[in-house]
């Protein structure tokens, strides 16, 4: 055993937000913790979602014992269909998390080919040399767990996403006792959520939202339209309870909202008072003062329910003067423009909009602030510490937060980015060799869903400089051009600006044809390349722009 090594291999989620995926390897056995996705940056044109590149796992397929999930947020489960389409492995998680995964797998027709194994908090699971205990933690979604992974070299604690909520809506407390027990026995490595490390103090309890929501129920004279993340079951429970208390009917709008609430209700996580639900088609026939609509689409996604309501394009709900629209969520960085655009449209409908930070709050975070992160560090007292889930600045700050533990046995903190590895053996821990990681860009509308880098590069090229299409008719008998070439352009220059340039470009193409040998003119591939090169040189010199040039040769 002395020469066997433990490797921590982040495939995503370190040095970035989203795509959380961690491989843990001991000798010839690998387990995977989470397989998430992220939404694309603005430069990834036409891309719907981004997942980790799972090449490392595919190359080591025979060694992968299973996928273990911490909770059901998209940045932790969104990449699962794309992983399982390449690799058949069992999946373990709580019943609620697996129900959300199952919906994703149904969309990709992978349910029948996948083994889903529900595990309850407190239960243990053995996969090869790993014994994994599920430890209940509180977060903004129900049924979340941290993982206590016992390996031949020691215990690894992976917190998943968490905050230490002292008064959770479901009254199921964060299992700090179990973490403390592991801390007493000795923990080799702690991997802990870094999302809110730069917020001082403690994150407010989910119950802190209740006074503000109640105030809105009391003060809103007409329809109340509340938008929150569909996965925020505790928030939805508060809305249902308040609606029941104030005599309002509740209608859920949006596919994700309907799917998630149905799953949560079936599994007993969402308690719906009798007779309170209203069909979407009955919304406009219900007295406005007796209605609350709970709508998905907090981030201004173009086709989401709330975006369609905002532009008066939803079949079931039209906003009217005096209605109140509440965004009970945070603005995810990068989505601000879309959200403010949506708020502007809502305001044009004459509705009041409630959003942003206020006191009491209309939204609280699901991630622990600095003091909660310090509490977990103090309870676990690891030998080595690896901050996870965050950009580099947050990982570095979290590592700094752990410095005070040096007198309690912390030997070293490591800051890794995706692809960098941590290796632990009997001699200690150190950075190991890098593994190949990257991202897979998924375009749901394309035949082959994974978009190549070259395609994205071409899309960016087209978006910036447009394209130029030289069309040349060549007589197949003589090999000579039939008249001057035609040149079509789109997104290149305005008609007035480009007419002179394109007229001269026709002469450039003609010159290229005339300067080519009969043998060259007989090879379309050669001619297309020659025309492209000469035209590119000319247009770049005249305009300093580089449109995509696609020569078309017609044989007559």
| CATH number (domain holding residue 488) | 3.10.20.580
Q: What is the pLDDT of residue 442?
A: 67
Do 86 and 172 share a structural domain?
yes
* pLDDT the model gives residue 43: 55
Residues 322 and 374 in one domain: no
Tallying the residues shown for the chain, one arrives at 556
Number of independent structural domains in the chain: 3
pLDDT given for residue 499 in this prediction? 72
**The domain spanning residue 269 has which CATH number?**
3.40.50.10710
Give the span between the Cα atoms of 314 and 225, in whole angstroms.
Answer: 13
Within a domain: 360: no
Is the domain of 147 the same as that of 27? yes
pLDDT of residue 47: 57
Provide φ and ψ at 202, rounded to 5°.
-120, 145
Question: 91: number of CA atoms within 13 Å, CB side?
Answer: 31
Decide if 190 is inside a domain.
yes
**Assigned domain for 451 exists:** no
Options 165, 193, 443, 534, the catalytic residue: 193
Long-range pairs for 391-395 at CB < 8 Å and ≥24 separation? 391/15, 391/16, 391/17, 392/15, 392/417, 393/198, 394/194, 394/195, 394/197, 394/198, 395/14, 395/15, 395/194
| Dist. CA 454–CA 443, nearest whole Å | 14
Which of 354, 376, 400 lies at the terminal end of a domain, its last residue?
354
Enclosing domain of residue 511: 466-555
Residue 74 near residue 301 (C-beta atoms within 8 A) = no
- 495-514 and 524-543 are packed helices; what angle lies between their axes, rounded to 10 degrees? 140
| Active-site residue flag, 367 | yes
The string of DSSP letters for 301-361 reads -TTSHHHHHHTT--SS----TT-EEEE-S---TT-HHHHHHHHHHHHHTT-EEE-SS-SS-
The ranges of the chain with pLDDT < 70 are 1-2, 40-48, 442-464, 476, 479, 494-498, 522, 556
Residue 196 sits in the same domain as residue 159: yes
* pLDDT at residue 181, rounded to an integer: 97
Beta bridge partners of 95: none
Q: Give the separation between CA 304 and CA 302, rounded to whole angstroms.
A: 6
In a domain, 1, yes or no: no
**Does residue 70 belong to any structural domain of this protein?**
yes
* Final residue of a structural domain among 354, 389, 422: 354
Same domain, 163 and 301: no
Task: Say what the pLDDT of residue 17 is.
Answer: 85
Could you tell me which of 431, 410, 385 has the C-alpha nearest to residue 156?
Answer: 385
If asked whether residues 381 and 399 sit together in one domain, one would say: yes
**194 and 142 co-located in one domain:** yes
CATH, residue 131: 3.60.15.10
Residues 130 and 156 in one domain: yes
347 and 369 together in one domain = no
Q: pLDDT, tens digit, for every residue of 288-299?
A: 999 999 999 999
Residue 48: active-site member: no
pLDDT of residue 446: 42
CA–CA separation, 4 vs 526, rounded Å?
Answer: 57
Q: Which of these is catalytic: 71, 73, 367, 398?
A: 367
> Does residue 416 share a domain with residue 343?
no
**Percent of the chain residues topping a pLDDT of 90:** 66
Whether 180 and 228 map to the same domain: the answer is no
Indicate the residue among 299, 324, 354 that finishes a domain.
Answer: 354
Per the domain annotation, does 302 fall within a domain?
Answer: yes
Residue 496: what pLDDT?
A: 64
pLDDT of 497 reads 63
Q: Which residues contact 371 (CB under 8 A, 6 or more apart)?
A: 200, 201, 202
546 lies in a domain? yes
332 assigned to some structural domain: yes
**Residue 89 and residue 184 in one domain:** yes
């Amino acid at each position: 055993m002395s020469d066997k090594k433990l490797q921590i291999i982040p495939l995503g989620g370190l040095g970035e937000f989203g795509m959380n995926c961690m491989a843990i390897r001991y000798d010839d056995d690998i387990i995977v913790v989470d397989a998430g996705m992220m939404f694309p940056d603005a430069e990834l044109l036409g891309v719907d979602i981004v997942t980790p590149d799972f090449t490392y796992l595919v190359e080591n397929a025979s060694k992968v014992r299973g996928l273990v999930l911490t909770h059901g947020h998209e940045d932790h489960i969104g990449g699962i269909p794309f992983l399982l389409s390449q690799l058949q492995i069992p999946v373990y998680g709580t019943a609620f998390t697996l129900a959300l995964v199952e919906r994703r797998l149904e969309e990709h027709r992978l349910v029948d080919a996948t083994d889903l194994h529900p595990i309850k908090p407190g239960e243990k699971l053995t996969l090869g040399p790993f014994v994994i205990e599920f430890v209940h933690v509180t977060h903004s979604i129900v049924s979340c767990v941290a993982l206590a992974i016992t390996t031949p070299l020691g215990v690894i604690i992976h917190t998943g996403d968490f905050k230490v909520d002292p008064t959770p809506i479901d009254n199921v407390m964060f299992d700090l006792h179990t973490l403390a027990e592991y801390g007493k026995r000795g923990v080799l490595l702690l991997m802990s959520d870094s999302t809110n490390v730069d917020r001082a103090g403690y994150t407010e309890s989910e119950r802190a939202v209740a006074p503000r929501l109640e105030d809105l129920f009391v003060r809103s004279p007409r329809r109340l339209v509340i938008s929150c993340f569909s996965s925020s079951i505790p928030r939805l429970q508060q809305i249902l309870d308040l609606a029941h208390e104030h005599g309002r009917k509740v209608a859920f709008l949006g596919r994700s909202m309907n799917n998630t609430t149905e799953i949560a209700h079936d599994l007993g996580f969402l308690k719906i008072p009798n007779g309170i639900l209203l069909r979407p088609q009955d919304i406009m026939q219900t007295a406005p003062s007796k209605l609350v609509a709970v709508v998905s689409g907090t981030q201004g996604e173009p086709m989401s329910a709330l975006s369609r309501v905002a532009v008066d394009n939803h079949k079931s709900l039209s906003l009217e003067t005096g209605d109140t629209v509440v965004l009970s969520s945070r603005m995810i960085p990068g989505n601000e423009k879309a959200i403010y655009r949506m708020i502007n449209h809502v305001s044009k409908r004459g509705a009041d909009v409630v959003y942003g930070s206020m006191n009491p709050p209309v939204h609280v975070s699901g991630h622990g602030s600095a003091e909660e992160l310090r509490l977990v560090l103090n309870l676990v007292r690891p030998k080595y510490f690896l901050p996870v889930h965050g950009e580099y600045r947050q990982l570095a700050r979290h590592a700094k937060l752990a410095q005070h533990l040096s007198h309690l046995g912390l030997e070293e903190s490591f800051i890794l980015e995706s692809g960098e590895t941590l290796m632990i053996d009997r001699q200690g821990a150190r950075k190991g060799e890098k593994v190949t990681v990257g991202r897979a860009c998924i375009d749901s509308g394309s035949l082959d869903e994974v978009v190549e880098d070259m395609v994205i590069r071409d899309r960016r090229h087209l978006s910036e400089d447009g394209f130029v299409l030289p069309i040349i008719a060549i007589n197949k008998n003589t090999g000579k051009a039939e008249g001057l070439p035609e040149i079509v352009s789109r997104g290149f220059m305005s008609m007035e600006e480009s007419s002179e340039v394109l007229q001269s470009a026709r002469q450039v193409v003609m010159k290229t044809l005339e300067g080519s040998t009969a043998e060259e003119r007989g090879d379309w591939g050669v001619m297309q390349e020659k025309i492209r090169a000469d035209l590119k040189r000319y247009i770049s010199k005249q305009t300093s722009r580089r449109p995509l040039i696609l020569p078309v040769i017609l044989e007559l």
